[in-house]
Amino acid sequence: MASNPVPDIPLNDGTTIPQLGFGVFQIKPRDTTQAVRTALEVGYRHIDTAEMYGNEAEVGQAVRTSGLTRDEVFVTSKLTNAAHRPDDARKAFEATLDALGFDYLDLFLIHWPLPTRYDGDFVSTWQVLEEFSRDGRARSIGVSNFQVPHLERLTAETEIVPSVNQIEVHPYFGNEEVRAYGRAHGILTQAWSPIAQGLVLDDPTIVDVAEQLGRTPAQVVLRWHLQRGDIVFPKSNTPARIEENFRLFDFELDEATMERISGLDRGEAGRQGEHPDTFDYLPS
């Protein structure tokens, strides 16, 4: 059988992460086990979920019944916004492990910094994630939706540098300042909504490149992310697309094409999701 084509990328804590994964945001719990099963059959070995997606149990079920061993699949989950206070964070992490049916996570993230709601409390939340790292229940720890000032506070006030920062990135929103901070400090960027939930796939430049290369627009955009060195985990609940999004390792974009796609960046106007400085959603 052919070896898995997805590269393992080093993290700053000495572990590695598969550069391509499968995201499960907005996959209904009743569809999640089958979607993850399909992804694992196609060859994905990295699943990105979160407590707030409501489908951790189904992700765990798919992984545990896949025939793969636990250490063959890299699984990430994220702390719910509702549990930033230290005792709540400890309970939430245990609930996540229980839901997944795992005794460790490969990567656990603070999902959002919530800077306005808790006035910087994400620092004490991060110190709780450091406990999970030290006791081995989280092989790696990181953050999501952190802006440069949030990362600077962690650097100044805590011991462990986050291994990743999971942020919105796609051709319309390069998020370059936060990516550059990560590059300079050994924090790997994970690009969420890598195809902007489909929005960029009709862009004339992307369509033109796809036609020239005989690839699909999604493959072109995902390949652009990989060549920038970021981690991606496109979401799909459609088996043919799950397969399509995995076929990224038998072609390359040349430098001019990379620049053409990067040139689509609209700066802040291209952001599609919530802004981390103001998003303060608490699930009920």
Ligand X SMILES: O=C(O)C(=O)[C@@H](O)[C@H](O)C(=O)CO
Ligand Y SMILES: NC(=O)C1=CN([C@@H]2O[C@H](COP(=O)(O)OP(=O)(O)OC[C@H]3O[C@@H](n4cnc5c(N)ncnc54)[C@H](OP(=O)(O)O)[C@@H]3O)[C@@H](O)[C@H]2O)C=CC1
CB of 183 to ligand Y, least distance (A): 19
E strands, 145-183, where?
164-168
Q: Residue with structure tokens 């896949």? A: 66
Single-letter amino acid, residue 4: N
Q: Return the number of the residue (1 or 242) whose C-beta is nearest ligand Y.
A: 242
CB of 23 to ligand X, least distance (A): 8
Main-chain phi, psi angles of 56, to 5 degrees: -60, -40
Rule CB under 6 A: choose which of 65, 274, 277, 282 binds ligand X: 274
Strands 74-79 and 105-110: parallel
Check: CB of residue 163 under 8 Å from CB of residue 12.
Answer: yes
Positions 83 through 122 that interact with ligand X (CB under 6 A): 111
DSSP-derived letter for residue 7 is P
**Interface residue list for ligand Y (CB under 6 A):** 23-26, 48, 111, 144-145, 166, 192-198, 201, 216, 218, 233-238, 241, 244-245, 273
Q: How many CA atoms lie within 13 A of 259 on its CB side?
A: 3
Instruction: Give binding residues for substrate as ranges.
Output: 111
Dist. CA 222–CA 242, nearest whole Å: 12
Single-letter amino acid, residue 15: T
Rule CB under 6 A: choose which of 20, 39, 52, 129 binds ligand X: 52
Contact partner, 15, from ligand Y, ligand X, none, Cβ < 5-8 Å per class: none
Rule CB under 6 A: choose which of 11, 40, 50, 209 binds ligand X: 50
Contact partner, 233, from ligand Y, ligand X, none, Cβ < 5-8 Å per class: ligand Y
Dist. CA 274–CA 147, nearest whole Å: 13
Rule CB under 6 A: choose which of 25, 104, 118, 249 binds ligand X: 25
Q: Return the number of the residue (189 or 236) whose C-beta is nearest ligand Y.
A: 236
List of residues contacting ligand X (CB under 6 A)? 25, 50, 52, 111, 273-274
